[in-house]
A and B are shown apart, each in its own frame.
Chain A
Amino acid sequence: MSDTMRVFLYALATAIATGFGVLPFAFVKVLSRRVVAASNAIAAGLMLGASLGLVAEGAQRGGWATFVGVNLGIAFIVLTQKLIGDREPEIGDFRGAGARRMLLMVVVMTVHSFAEGAAVGVSFGGGMALATAITVAIAVHNVPEGLAISAVLRPQGVSLLACAGWSVFSSLPQPLMAVPAYLFVERFAGALPYGLGFAAGAMIFMVLVELLPEAYEQERGRRVALLTGLTLAGMLLFQQYV
């Protein structure tokens, strides 16, 4: 199996993991807000842990380059958010506020999948151990992401299969982004710390602007902090022993 193919398959696996987020909805129609908040908090811890791994790897290859990359990643997400703005969309038969929330959810998830795809791709430039750790982290964190998407779509009457489909769709940029990101850092080794920083900055920013505020809306700060903090520590432990 060629390296490029392996990158693609790893990133495809993380995308498919998003579809598993629909599973709880096979049993219940609506999830309690606290469950959604808890899964957001856990996803935040996983992403922060993965980002720290990327930053640490980048810092060994160039502190300033990683720093520049991190800030580019932040700027990238700020700009895409500005671009999405306040559109009033129509998806098939769904209109109005519900549809807007659905589209925003899918678009936001899709956009930040770019960052995660880039993370999987560039992590292969840092060696197999880093790549495995980052891939598993992103795959696991995709599950609550699919859960979040389904939690918005399902009450609107979207079928289970369609929920799973939209969830996987939102993560499809991962395999599509991972391959060019990998080829890029493979060709231009000097770009690796920038790439690692970029992916980390974009993910950290997503945590701060989406996952955490949403968790705080439904759950007390201390419980969010406990869940996110312990997940982060577990993620760091995992990265050191893979």
Chain B
Amino acid sequence: MSIATIVLLALLAVIPAGVGAFLGVDRLGATRDRGGDAGTAEQVLAWANASAAGLMLGIAYAVLMAGTAIVPLGGTLGAAVGVGVIHLLGARARTSLARRAVVASALHSAAEGIAIGAAAALDPAFGLFLVLTFALHNVSEGAVLGSAVAYRGRGPWSVARAAMIARTGQPALAAVTLLLIRGAPALQPWALGVAAGALVYLVLAELLPGSYRLTGRTSIAVVVSVAAGIVALLGGRTR
């Protein structure tokens, strides 16, 4: 599995985000507009959100364990840096709800791209595992984005396109991170740590509060913890 293949696959992984966004606008957003069974739609959305959160936490665990196994200090300090940096970046994104959703999505894909790049530099199989997991989580992320920006006059196709463009940061930053680590291998644990910290921050700042607002906390907690457990188990075993 060559590095170029992984970046190419990461590029293809924006397609599930488009599919998710299309479904989000078409099914969930439209249901809300028509005043239909909004309860069910919100439930689906909450679980989609929670499963995305679980997948991200599982990956954060796998990535962090890889980072701390190399140089403990870089991995954990990197995590603190990741939390802080993404917090500061997010503070600048205060605009309309729709634009904020797109900016948030772009920040997510940036953090995920760093994770993919750092993991692929460590072991291509590990990188591939991250690409596949993020591709899966792109569907629910896309659906959440789609339903957030769904408003009159904006069709599912244009939202799907916006969701896919917001996600291109993922393969782009994966490639950049890979090249950086190739050039300076000492960055490896830091990159893994930063990615893990940023992922955890995003889950705590965006995905979880959004999920709790939509449905009961017990079901959210079950979906998040079980999804995280599965990914941590599989991700821990690919190395």
User: Interface residues, chain A, CB within 8 Å of chain B?
Assistant: 52, 55-56, 59, 63-64, 66-67, 70-71, 74, 78, 81, 201, 204-205, 208-209, 212-213, 216, 221-222, 224-226, 228-230, 232-234, 236-237, 240-241
Minimum Cβ distance to chain B for residue A102 (Å)? 20
Q: Give which listed residue, B65, B201, B226, contacts A225 with CB less than 8 A.
A: B201
User: Interface residues, chain B, CB within 8 Å of chain A?
Assistant: 61, 64-65, 68, 72-73, 76-77, 79-80, 83-84, 87, 90-91, 197, 200-206, 208-209, 212, 217-218, 220-222, 224-226, 228-230, 232-233, 236-237
Residues of A within 8 A of B226 (CB): 71, 74
Residues of A within 8 A of B61 (CB): 52, 55
User: A64-B233, A226-B87, A229-B197 known; A221 and B80 CB under 8 Å?
Assistant: no
CA distance A63 to B90 in the complex (A): 36
Chain B, Cβ-Cβ closest to A41: B204
Q: Find out whether the CB atom of A221 lies under 8 angstroms from the CB atom of B209.
A: yes
Minimum Cβ distance to chain A for residue B8 (Å)? 30
Q: Find out whether the CB atom of A233 lies under 8 angstroms from the CB atom of B218.
A: no
Interface centre among B80, B217, B221 (most CB of A within 10 A): B221
Residues of A within 8 A of B229 (CB): 67, 70-71, 201
Residues of B within 8 A of A55 (CB): 61, 232
Q: Find out whether the CB atom of B237 lies under 8 angstroms from the CB atom of A232.
A: no
Minimum Cβ distance to chain A for residue B221 (Å)? 4
Q: Find out whether the CB atom of B218 lies under 8 angstroms from the CB atom of A78.
A: yes
Residues of B within 8 A of A228 (CB): 204
Residues of B within 8 A of A232 (CB): 79, 200
Minimum Cβ distance to chain B for residue A40 (Å)? 12
Minimum Cβ distance to chain B for residue A235 (Å)? 9
Chain A, Cβ-Cβ closest to B79: A233
Residues of B within 8 A of A59 (CB): 65, 236
User: A221-B209, A225-B204, A229-B201 known; A208 and B87 CB under 8 Å?
Assistant: no
Q: Give which listed residue, A70, A71, A209, contacts B218 with CB less than 8 A.
A: A209
User: A55-B61, A226-B83 known; A216 and B236 CB under 8 Å?
Assistant: no
Q: Find out whether the CB atom of A63 lies under 8 angstroms from the CB atom of B208.
A: no
CA distance A232 to B224 in the complex (A): 18
Interface centre among A59, A67, A224, A225 (most CB of B within 10 A): A225
Residues of B within 8 A of A236 (CB): 64, 68, 76, 79
Chain B, Cβ-Cβ closest to A212: B208
CA distance A55 to B50 in the complex (A): 21
How many A-B contacts are there with CB distance less than 8 Å?
110
Q: Find out whether the CB atom of B236 lies under 8 angstroms from the CB atom of A63.
A: yes
Residues of A within 8 A of B208 (CB): 208, 212, 216, 221
Residues of A within 8 A of B197 (CB): 229, 233
Q: Find out whether the CB atom of A240 lies under 8 angstroms from the CB atom of B68.
A: yes
Minimum Cβ distance to chain A for residue B80 (Å)? 4
Q: Find out whether the CB atom of A213 lies under 8 angstroms from the CB atom of B237.
A: no
Minimum Cβ distance to chain A for residue B165 (Å)? 25
CA distance A74 to B84 in the complex (A): 30
Q: Give which listed residue, A201, A221, A241, contacts B225 with CB less than 8 A.
A: A201
User: A55-B232, A67-B233 known; A208 and B224 CB under 8 Å?
Assistant: yes
User: A63-B237, A212-B204 known; A222 and B221 CB under 8 Å?
Assistant: no
User: A78-B218, A216-B212, A225-B87 known; A204 and B225 CB under 8 Å?
Assistant: yes
List 28 A–B pairs whose Cβ atoms lie within 8 Å, in order of A's numbering.
Answer: A52-B61, A63-B236, A63-B237, A71-B229, A74-B226, A201-B225, A204-B228, A205-B225, A208-B225, A209-B217, A212-B204, A213-B212, A213-B217, A216-B209, A221-B204, A221-B205, A221-B206, A221-B209, A222-B91, A222-B205, A224-B205, A226-B84, A229-B80, A233-B79, A234-B80, A236-B68, A237-B77, A240-B76
CA distance A241 to B75 in the complex (A): 13
Q: Find out whether the CB atom of A225 lies under 8 angstroms from the CB atom of B205.
A: yes
CA distance A229 to B82 in the complex (A): 9
Q: Find out whether the CB atom of B221 lies under 8 angstroms from the CB atom of A224.
A: no
Q: Find out whether the CB atom of B83 lies under 8 angstroms from the CB atom of A229.
A: yes
Q: Which 3 pairs show the lowest CB-CB distances between chains A and B?
A: A225-B205, A225-B204, A229-B83
Q: Find out whether the CB atom of B221 lies under 8 angstroms from the CB atom of A208.
A: yes
